[in-house]
Amino acid sequence: MRPLAIGAGLVLALAGLLLLALTVGPGELGVGEALAVLLGHLGLGSTPSPPTVDALVWDLRLPRSLLAMLLGGALGFAGAITQGLFRNPMAEPGVLGVSAGAATLAVVGFTLGLDTSSVLAVPVLAAAGAAAVLLVLLALARDHGDVTTLLLSGIALGAMCGALTTLLLALDTERWDLGIKVVRWLMGSFEGRSWSHLQTAALPLAAGAALGLWLRLDLDALQLGRDTAASLGVDLARTQRLALLAVALLVGAATALAGVIGFVGLVVPHVARILGGPGHARLLPLSALGGALALLGVDLLDRSIHDVALPPGALTSLAGAPFFLWLLRRQEARP
């Protein structure tokens, strides 16, 4: 199947799932009612929807669903860039501790109360945390490029960042409300997300995606090896810096707005590579579409189970961890 047909199929599936997501949750609606609200806001509806229905769809469910799609796409996109940068199909922001680094500095922002002073403070700190971990990993990958060293380094960095996060919460024992807020945030959630959250995410996600697409040919060349890529005219230092910035922006924004959500950046690019091939001109968009579809599906599952809040990070880890173990066994079995 051609990548264009696969992409078109993913877009149609995403549109259908989005429409379904607008009907699921407390106060269930029909597809026709949800569609009428959308058409009304686009100026195409003939009859205005009831105010309660309009508020439920337009103010609550649509921004939440769109944010799940955007952040899922960002994680899939970032995973594809990370795998291309490290030339390793098991490289993923969550597995390598990048998401944990983003979470640690985001918690610093929460502790200092920066989330109430500026909507961009926590995303910027999260991006800085992601970038710091990636810098360490890039240095280690340059000196010791084997898979085991990379994975163990990522696990160690993730554990260290997790310990720092725990210490930050333990040292601030007087503000229990802050601890509860941070723990809920770390579990991950799209509940209560609004149009303002989408506006906050728009700039870093757009910048990260634009950088990734601009680097698509350089990432292709890197798959041939660093020396070969350099002989083809690729500026390795510049490519690494820009790829680092792209992943930091994407993972930082996703972590700041929805908490730590792992394994989307591992599983989705791997499947996209099977469907569309290794070329990053196809791999990056397919990974973004697949990530958006996966995370919207996870959020839909969360909303379909009443009276129980299922953290999206837990659901993606339950699905992704067995896949990671299989991929690790497969990698080790190669001669």
Q: Give pLDDT tens digits for 200-225.
A: 889 889 999 999 999 999 999 999 98
Mean pLDDT is lowest, of 117-126, 280-289, 297-306, for: 117-126
At what angle are helices 280-304 and 264-276 packed, to 10 degrees?
A: 130
Per-residue pLDDT, averaged over 49-75, amounts to: 91
Share of the chain above pLDDT 90, in %: 26
What angle (nearest 5°) sits at the alpha carbon of residue 9, between those of residues 299 and 36?
Answer: 60
Residues 6+ apart with CB under 8 A from 189: 258, 259, 309, 311, 312
What pLDDT sits at residue 226?
A: 84
- CA-CA distance, 249 to 211, in Å (whole number)? 10
Residue 183 exposed, middle or buried by CB count within 10 Å (0-12, 13-18, 19+) = exposed
Which residue did the predictor score with more confidence, 201 or 43? Answer: 201
* Single-letter amino acid, residue 311: P
What pLDDT sits at residue 279?
A: 92
Phi/psi of residue 132, nearest 5 degrees? -60, -45
Q: How many CB atoms lie within 10 A of CB 207?
A: 15
User: pTM above the 0.95 mark?
Assistant: no
What pLDDT sits at residue 74?
A: 96
* Single-letter amino acid, residue 242: L
User: Which domains are delineated in the chain?
Assistant: 3-333 (1.10.3470.10)
Average pLDDT, the chain: 85
Q: How confident is the model at residue 307 (pLDDT cuts 50, 70, 90)?
A: low
* Single-letter amino acid, residue 98: V
Q: How confident is the model at residue 33 (pLDDT cuts 50, 70, 90)?
A: confident
- Residue bearing tokens 């950046």: 265
Q: Tell me the HSE value of 219 on the side-chain side, using a 13 A CA sphere.
A: 30
Q: Give pLDDT tens digits for 127-179.
A: 888 888 888 887 876 666 565 677 788 888 989 998 998 888 887 767 777 77
Residue 53 · residue 33 · CB < 8 Å: yes
Residue 135 · residue 244 · CB < 8 Å: yes
Residue 267 · residue 325 · CB < 8 Å: no
What pLDDT sits at residue 282?
A: 94
